[in-house]
Amino acid sequence: MLWIKLVKQIVLILQSEISPKQVAAGAALGMILGFAPVKCMQSYVILVIILMLNVNLGSATLSAGVFAMLGFLLDPLADKIGYHLLVNSKTLTPFWTSLYNMPLIPFTRFYNTIVLGSFVISLILAVPVYLLTLRFINYYRSHFKDKVSKWKIMKLFKVTSAYNVYDKYQ
Amino acid sequence: MRWKYFIPTVVITALIVVFNVLFLDYVLKLSIIATGEMIFGAKVEVSSVKTRFGNLSIDIKGLKAANKGDVFKNLFEIDEIRFSVKPAPLLSMKVIIDEMAVDGVKWATKRDSSGALPPVKQAKYARQQQKDDKNGFFSKLSDKILDKGKSQFGQLPALGDIKNSQQQFKNFSFDKAISAEDLQSVKELETMKQGVNDKYSKYQDRLKKLDADDNINKAAAQVSDLSKIKVSSPQDVQALKTKLDGLNGTKDELDKSAKELQNLRAQAESDFGSDKDLLANINELKDNDIKALSAKYKLPSFTTTGVAGALFGPVWLSRVQKAIYYVGVVRKYMPPRKKNAKTATVQGARGTDVSFPKADTPPDFLISKTSLSGTTGGAGKEGTPLDFKGEIDDITSDQSQLGRPTTFEINGVMGPKTLKASGNFDHRTDDASDTFNFTYTGLTAKEMNLPKSEYLPSFDKGEGKVNGNFTMRGEDIDASVDIVLTNFQLPDADKTDEAKNIVASLWSGIDSIAVTAKLTGKIDKIDIAVSSNIDKTLSDRLTKLYGEKIAEIQNKIRSEVDRLTNEKKAEVTAQYNAKRNELMNAFTGKQKELQEKTDELSKMKDSKENEAKNLVSNAKKQAEDLTEAQKKQAEARAEAAKKQAQEQLDAEKKKAEEAAKKQAEEEVKKKAQQQLKGLFGQ
């Protein structure tokens, strides 16, 4: 079941020795990737950034998946934000006009209300997600890591290749 | 930086690019098929797609779109489409094509296999189309036209029943009189009568609820009150002022009541309308009653308009519905834009796409010039084909940005046949206008695709001409077609085949058919008229075929319906006039009363104001007189004081002069004494 896999992935990341900052950065970038639509240029650019930078790929993948699902629920809010920025804010019209007529920029589909709204939401949430993830990981590792590592299920995880792969995501 | 991922990323990107380059043709082909199936709701086939990156050209061969209304025919097929896309605008997601060549256009060609989509796809595209058609305007308009046609165009009875009917109605008589309760028109008139009563009651209630009476009474009381006040002192003026302020307030309320009354009267006049509006639909209902009674007594009906409508109407309407559908498609992909709008919004599957066109830049999609060639022939078609050529200019997603409408012109000549078609699709403002015309001459009778009916003979020879016009401005539609068929040869009578015999007798002596069909109006009011030069001839012959007895029965039904409805009509009209007049008289009376009270109020106000003004001016004059007297007194006193002062001054002066003179004399005397002393010494 999907939610069991999600929980497993989260626990494995938390239990590993990967740098909390890398995990948090991966989560933040993954969130931006999750909110971005698949067939747009920015998805590819963010993916390349995630691959190139020293961020945790596991947390980025997990975060992208979770926020992609959440993105659908936030579509009405994103649509309103995007509509307000694109249509109602007349002062921004010259800016959007110059962007719209530039080369390559239209491939980001920024002129779609949901795309722009989702992007704005992801930018607003990027720093809070990074900080909260960082804090959570530090808190977890200082208070729960040892207890959880003694659970029987963790012993089962450790012998599977999945755990080893996660350890390699450094 | 994770440099170890750099090479895999580059490799994967390169693989994606190579995949797209290698399989672009296939991907494009699939896209064309998917898009075409969504637009046309039927199978779309493409033989091949070839792309060349050198000049960004695309070559599409063997494009066929099936007709969803007739799945074993193609809606159209095109042998080849060739064009090149300009490279620079592609970077800004703009597809600009300077020239496109479309060769081998054909339509209504035969298919070897069914062009119907699988049920799942059909349902999916139907749902998508319903969603895209924002308020379903074009589908609603199409349905309205179909319903109107069904109610307007009756069906002619089967030819085979003619002889039976003659026998059936030979000894026919009405078993009982036609009852008024059975007639829709009488019921509608009763409803109208009730409607008039209801309107009358409604407006009477509203008239009573207006504050007019209260305000009139209030004004009367104030006038009476004011008339008792006598203005005799300045204190009275102050009290009067308070009363006058109250009076002004009442006058304002009277004016307000007068205005409300005027508005209510205007509403009532509009609501009641005229007696012509009241009875506008009655004739149509009467016709329906006659049809219903004819059906009840199983009588065939051959009005002159009914024959032409029954024969040619349904086919004509199906052509108009198709035209409306395609206008809807054109308006969807070339949406009209509000005048002076700097942006345009298009609702997508997710969210809204907002475009920001810059002045003097091309629109997102543009095909400047399309050269067209094709033929009227093709698989499964008979007759000599006609080759045509033409041009379509400025196919674009944003005509406002481009500044020009989309136009097309097609011409073809082959021997006696000519085809001319032209069109103009102007969506530069939100009041879109779509027009197209065509003239096709030199057709054979078979090529004209006349409707199939057992009443129409198969026209073996003959020449035809079709002239059609279609205009849709905003939501107003105006479509017409003229069909002329001449020099046709009718089949001979066949004594062994009753039906052929009847048809031959119906058409004997007729050597030309001219049909005119017209459809005008808006979605809430559509008018359809179909007529032909042979309506009366066919109608008379059909009536004769069915026998005079039937004509007699039909006339009797008509006169009975007329009698019953006329009685009711007179009742309703009398009721309407009486109630309307009564109501208007009530309005007039109330308005007169209000006006009289307002005038009385104004008169009293003016009178009292004058009284007060007079009092004030008198007091002022008195004060002025007093002031004048006081002024004169003061002047006199001043004059006296001045005189006294002058006298005093003169006395002082005289005194001073005398004193000076005396002093001078003393001095002279003294000097003289000194001189004398000096002379004579002491």
Cβ atoms of B62 and B47 within 8 Å: the answer is: yes
Please tell me whether residue A123 adopts helix, strand or coil conformation. Answer: helix
- Domain boundaries, given as residue ranges, for chain A: 13-168
Please name every residue paired with B481 in a beta bridge, in sequence order, or none if there are none.
Answer: B468, B517
A73 contact B CB<8A: no
Percent of chain B with pLDDT over 90: 26
Residue B454: phi and psi, rounded to 5, are -70, -10
Contacts of B91 in chain A (CB under 8 A): 103-104
In tens, the pLDDT along B229-258 reads: 777 777 777 778 888 888 888 888 889 989
A41 contact B CB<8A: no
Residue B154: phi and psi, rounded to 5, are -80, 180
Q: Using the beta-carbon criterion (under 8 Å), do A101 and B6 form an inter-chain contact?
A: no
Residues B82-110: what's their mean pLDDT? 93
DSSP B42: S
Residues B6-27: what's their mean pLDDT? 85
Please tell me whether residue B409 adopts helix, strand or coil conformation. Answer: strand
More confident residue, B463 or B86: B86
Residues A68-85 as b/e (b if ≥16 CB within 10 A, e otherwise) read: beebeebbeebbebbbeb
Q: Scanning every residue of chain B, which has its alpha carbon at the shortest distance from the alpha carbon of A105?
A: B92
Contacts of B20 in chain A (CB under 8 A): none
Please tell me whether residue B485 adopts helix, strand or coil conformation. Answer: strand
Contacts of B351 in chain A (CB under 8 A): 75, 78-79, 82, 112-115, 117
In tens, the pLDDT along A52-77 reads: 888 888 899 989 988 998 888 999 99
Residues B270-284: what's their mean pLDDT? 73
Average pLDDT, chain B: 83
Q: Is the pLDDT of residue B60 over 90?
A: yes
More confident residue, A26 or B298: A26
Closest CB to A114 among B92, B343, B351: B351
Contacts of A106 in chain B (CB under 8 A): 92-93
In tens, the pLDDT along B323-346 reads: 888 888 888 888 887 766 666 677
A95 contact B CB<8A: no
Residues B515-523: what's their mean pLDDT? 88
A2 contact B CB<8A: no
CA distance, residue B102 to nearest chain A CA (Å) = 30
Q: Using the beta-carbon criterion (under 8 Å), do B351 and A53 form an inter-chain contact?
A: no
**pLDDT value for B222:** 87
Nearest to B499 by CA among B114, B93, B156, B87: B156
**pLDDT value for A170:** 44
Contacts of B353 in chain A (CB under 8 A): 109, 111-112
Please tell me the distance from the alpha carbon of residue B318 to that of residue B164, in angstroms, as a whole number: 33
How far is the CA of A138 from the CAs of A17, A141, A144, B369, B445, in angstroms? Answer: 11, 5, 10, 66, 89
β-strand pairing of B365-375 with B95-107: parallel
Please tell me the distance from the alpha carbon of residue A9 to that of residue B140, in angstroms, as a whole number: 54
Residues B611-634: what's their mean pLDDT? 83
Would you call B403 exposed, middle or buried from its count of C-beta atoms within 10 A (0-12, 13-18, 19+)? exposed
In tens, the pLDDT along B564-609 reads: 888 888 888 899 999 999 999 999 999 999 999 999 988 988 888 8
Please tell me the distance from the alpha carbon of residue B62 to that of residue B73, in angstroms, as a whole number: 15
Residue A143 in tokens: 């208070």
Q: Is the pLDDT of residue B157 over 70?
A: no
How far is the CA of B14 from the CAs of A38, A47, B8, in angstroms? Answer: 19, 15, 10
Q: Is the pLDDT of residue A161 over 60?
A: no
Written as one letter, the residue type at B59 is D
Please tell me whether residue B584 adopts helix, strand or coil conformation. Answer: helix
**pLDDT value for A91:** 93
CA distance, residue A112 to nearest chain B CA (Å) = 4
**pLDDT value for B201:** 93
**pLDDT value for A31:** 95
Contacts of B343 in chain A (CB under 8 A): 86-87, 93
Contacts of A102 in chain B (CB under 8 A): 92
Would you call A8 exposed, middle or buried from its count of C-beta atoms within 10 A (0-12, 13-18, 19+)? middle
In tens, the pLDDT along A104-125 reads: 999 999 999 999 999 999 999 9
**pLDDT value for B682:** 47
Residues B353-363: what's their mean pLDDT? 87
Q: Using the beta-carbon criterion (under 8 Å), do B354 and A87 form an inter-chain contact?
A: yes
Q: Using the beta-carbon criterion (under 8 Å), do A93 and B5 form an inter-chain contact?
A: no
Q: How many C-beta atoms surround the C-beta of residue B615 within 10 A? A: 17
C-alpha A11: how far from its chain's center? Answer: 17
Please tell me the distance from the alpha carbon of residue B209 to that of residue B649, in angstroms, as a whole number: 90
In tens, the pLDDT along A120-147 reads: 999 999 999 999 999 999 998 888 888 8
**pLDDT value for A117:** 95
Closest CB to A114 among B91, B350, B355: B350
Residue B602: phi and psi, rounded to 5, are -65, -40
Residues B465-478: what's their mean pLDDT? 91
DSSP B110: B
Any idea which of A88-102, B163-177, B456-470, B528-542 has the lowest mean pLDDT? B163-177
In tens, the pLDDT along B541-570 reads: 777 776 666 777 778 888 888 888 888 888
Percent of chain A with pLDDT over 70: 90
Q: Scanning every residue of chain A, which has its alpha carbon at the shortest distance from the alpha carbon of B344?
A: A87
To the nearest 10 degrees (0 to 180), the angle between helices A57-73 and A113-143 is 130
Task: Give residues with Cβ within 8 angstroms of B459, minimum separation 6.
Answer: B445, B446, B450, B485, B488, B489, B490
Q: Scanning every residue of chain B, which has its alpha carbon at the shortest distance from the alpha carbon of A100?
A: B356
Percent of chain B with pLDDT over 70: 87
Q: Scanning every residue of chain A, which has its alpha carbon at the shortest distance from the alpha carbon of B357?
A: A97
A84 contact B CB<8A: no
Q: Using the beta-carbon criterion (under 8 Å), do A93 and B342 form an inter-chain contact?
A: yes
Task: Give residues with Cβ within 8 angstroms of B395, minimum separation 6.
Answer: B334, B365, B366, B367, B370, B406
Would you call B461 exposed, middle or buried from its count of C-beta atoms within 10 A (0-12, 13-18, 19+)? exposed
Contacts of A107 in chain B (CB under 8 A): 93
Is the C-alpha dihedral spanning B559, B565, B568, B570 positive or negative?
A: negative
Contacts of A87 in chain B (CB under 8 A): 343, 345, 352, 354
Q: Is the pLDDT of residue B420 over 90?
A: yes
Residue B436: phi and psi, rounded to 5, are -145, 150
Token pair 């016709």 is at which residue? B287
CA distance, residue B397 to nearest chain A CA (Å) = 16
Q: Is the pLDDT of residue B450 over 80?
A: no
Please name every residue paired with B423 in a beta bridge, in sequence order, or none if there are none.
Answer: B408, B436
Residues composing chain B = 682
pTM for the full model? 0.63
**pLDDT value for B171:** 61
Q: Which residues of B fall below an 8 Å CB-CB distance to A? A: 1-2, 5-6, 8-9, 88, 91-93, 342-343, 345, 348, 350-358, 361
